Amino acid sequence: MSDACKSCGKSGSCSSQKEGKDCGEKAKSPEDLKLAENLGRIKNKIVVMSGKGGVGKSTVAVNIALALALAGKKVGLLDVDVHGPSIPRLLSLSGQQAHIEKDYIEPIPWSKNLWVMSLGFLLPDPNEAVIWRGPVKMGLIRQFLQNVAWGELDFLIVDCPPGTGDEPLTVMQLLGKEAKSVIVTTPQMLAIDDVRRSITFCKRTGNQLLGVVENMSGFVCPDCGKRHEIFKSGAGEQMAMDMGVPFLGRIPVDPELARAGDEGFAYIKVYPDSETSKIMREIVQPMLDMLPVTA
Ligand SMILES: Nc1ncnc2c1ncn2[C@@H]1O[C@H](COP(=O)(O)OP(=O)(O)OP(=O)(O)O)[C@@H](O)[C@H]1O
């Protein structure tokens, strides 16, 4: 006779079973076990979200991943924007095709410690429109988290499409409560209203919000170095304070950051001493602080 708990399938280690009862925990499917094993090798999961489209979320996600990788950490960058995967272009990886085995997908290496995965690496023609409903997208996100051979990572950075729909919800459900989020906004009130919804979303899913980033906040003139407030800036910081969530930093409009996105070069590597790179490094500091101190 099997001595495994009828509910969770564990034998010996299930405390309820030792007391002669079943624990009531649902038995894990082989897929769930594989997901747990893959995610168990990743120390920190950070989900980059925004309430509104076009606020620079992918740009921020890429630069967070680059800043962490340049700090010597092992990083994975996952693009779950199924309808508009922009990470391949931002990192000059367009046209690359991921190697796929039966239950295993190899991420695309960007450097010796940054690996990337996006639907853009799986489509034969990346310019083809993807017309998928929620369940298919949810299945793909599961494949990315369960079957991509991320290996041992210090950080997995997940770039979500804007809003609080299927993709961020699936990501949070699969990653679990230990995933933390970063919310990107611009200073305009229209964007700020949507960010409030993203903050409420994280509170509802029970995931910790690492903080809010205000992007395209002012413009630093490359000639005179003076800061100009193109839009009213500081609204993101004010809103973070009002809602009692941390504020991580303000990234200015930087024409070179836009060029880096178009041409696919690593801004923070090419301009390590710029004001924008300094701010990016400040934004990742709380993430680096999450790692145990090594002697
Ligand atoms: N601080 C910045 N300074 C200058 N240009 C920027 C800045 N942040 C982002 N951009 C530019 O704005 C455009 C939109 O950025 P990005 O694609 O990162 O936004 P997104 O929020 O991820 O968009 P989507 O909603 O489509 O996912 C890009 O061309 C990018 O290069």
Q: For ligand 1, what atom is nearest to the CA of residue 159?
A: 22
For residue 148, the CA-to-ligand 1 centroid distance in Å is 26
Which pLDDT does position 188 carry in this prediction?
80
Alpha carbon 89 to chain centroid, angstroms: 17
Interval 180-195 mean pLDDT: 86
pTM score: 0.88
> pLDDT tens, 156-182?
999 998 888 888 999 999 999 999 999
Residue ranges per structural domain of the chain: 32-288
For residue 41, the CA-to-ligand 1 centroid distance in Å is 31
Interval 26-41 mean pLDDT: 86
| Residue 244 counted as an annotated binding residue | no
> pLDDT tens, 210-227?
999 999 988 877 777 677
| Residue 73 counted as an annotated binding residue | no
> pLDDT tens, 46-85?
999 998 888 999 999 999 999 999 999 999 999 998 777 8
57 within 8 A of 168, measured Cβ to Cβ: no
Which pLDDT does position 2 carry in this prediction?
46
Which pLDDT does position 65 carry in this prediction?
97
ipTM (interface predicted TM) = 0.98
CATH class of 32-288: alpha beta
Share of the chain above pLDDT 90, in %: 54
Rg of the chain on CA atoms, in Å: 20
Per-residue DSSP letter, 231 = S
- The span from the CA of 116 to the CA of 134, in Å, is 23
Smallest CA separation from ligand 1 atom 25, residue: 53
| Residue 53 counted as an annotated binding residue | yes
Interval 126-147 mean pLDDT: 77
Q: For ligand 1, what atom is nearest to the CA of residue 260?
A: 31
> In which element (H, E) is residue 153 found?
strand 153-159
Q: For ligand 1, what atom is nearest to the CA of residue 162?
A: 25
